[in-house]
Structure 1
């Protein structure tokens, strides 16, 4: 019988009752399912160790992150992040289906999302560095340039760069987070821990690494 402990459960979706269909023959589980593609629609989504709001946070997912969903039950989705492979539970209200491919990534620690291309509008949300969006148009209002998203919402154009365009120095990226509050499990400009900082800075410089060193 396959050894259920042979793979790291932080990075592979398996439990005794349910597992990723790609792991069939490698782990023991009562049932195997293929993950359903979905995308994070919240500014920041806590990925928890168990399906309850007081469970510990493994890591966080950012707006636009793609995931595979293996189960939805009682308001929680059991997912695996496609970007770095981490597995955990997120609130199912933070998920939407995938439609258009993202074109740009937020390249400043924090930025406001506006309901349209005008910074005088009340903000519609906030996005962190590393969030990905689909830009479909450009606009200028009173000399400020905006990137207009597929939703019709807008971001300051200078706060984005094209996906695939990497920063030259991950240390310089990390330094932009000076003064950001420490948050255990955090991965965003609103709160971050040491592992999340290294992972995000390296990602913005074109190098994908895990947040755990073991």
Structure 2
């Protein structure tokens, strides 16, 4: 049976890659739209009685829309192919390809490139994408294009340039990226610096280092790196799995994870975390996996 999270069909419409493999009234390639709000949910269904939040998308992430309704758009995320429904009003058109990405846990948008200003500031998350068109005030501020509902409308905002990295660059260390989220509130299904869960943290860190990573911990346990024998010593950037949970190793004795015990992203001694998780009834470590060695940071 196909995993609905990765199966781009709802019976009414399906992606063309599924032609001949499933029944649907219509097959199409779909169109890429972009998120136009700081964070929006990726829902399991468009029926309110049965829907729940699976994951989230952050500002200007791409979503391939296969079907548009009055309230919901059906499709899948560009980052990992996760299938679901997004609020149609949270999507818009980004006229130009993003050039930069937020590399701090949080940043903000403002209407004026002035350090001491009184304009409204909108929080934006790690991973938010922007098209930078100019720099202002001795390169302190990046002028960025904002998603609009119409191809013929352009709006602009300003983001602290120090909070951005070129989208072609990669981070060198997964654990360091994860530590950037320390103190971030735990939020089930979360994928942002405003609130994140265990698998969201792992995916954010992996993607920043140009390592492919699915969205949920069960998929991560199947796909990330190589499985290690029990009792293998822990190394930095190893990933530990429990049933329904995942953490990143910082060193031989410490891990970092988003967890409901602390209700935050926190460091924790590995042995203490293993004992605590077992004591709360969630069982032992189910897998210890080692990620591929990362390449040197790429600058293009």
User: TM-score scaled to structure 1, two decimals?
Assistant: 0.90
* Alignment check: 8 A CA contact 1:21 1:33 kept: yes
**1:182 alignment counterpart:** 186
Pick the aligned partner of 1:172 from 170, 176, 184.
176
Number of residue equivalences: 207
Structure 2 distance, partners of 1:199, 1:8, is: 19
Match of 1:162 among 162, 166, 188: 166
CA distance in 2, matches of 1:97, 1:21: 22
CA RMSD of aligned residues (A): 1.7
Structure 1 residues not aligned, in runs of 5+: none
* Match 2:71 to one of 58, 63, 75: 75
- Which stretch has the larger CA shift, 174-183 or 20-29? 20-29
Q: Distance in 2 between matches of 1:153 and 1:205?
A: 27
Deviations 1:34-77 (A, max 9, x none): 31221111111100011256721111011111111111223111
Residue in 2 aligned with 1:123? Answer: 120
Match of 1:103 among 99, 105, 108: 99
Give the superposition deviation at 1:8.
2.4
Runs ≥4 residues deviating over 3 A: none
Aligned match of 1:90: 86
* Larger relative contact order, structure 1 or 2 (CA cutoff 8 Å, min sep 6): 1
In the alignment, structure 2 segments of 5+ residues that lack a partner are: 146-154, 220-300
Q: Which of structures 1 and 2 has the bigger CA Rg?
A: 2
State the Cα deviation string for residues 3-31 of structure 1 (Å, max 9, x = none). Answer: xx3x3221121123321122111112232
Answer whether contact 1:68 1:82 (CA < 8 A) is retained: yes
Partner of residue 40 from structure 2, selected from 32, 45, 48: 45
- CA deviation after TM superposition for structure 1 residue 144, in Å: 7.4
Q: For residue 12 of structure 2, what is the aligned residue in structure 1? A: 17
Relative to structure 2, which stretch is displaced further, 73-82 or 85-94?
Answer: 73-82
1:133 matches 2:127: no
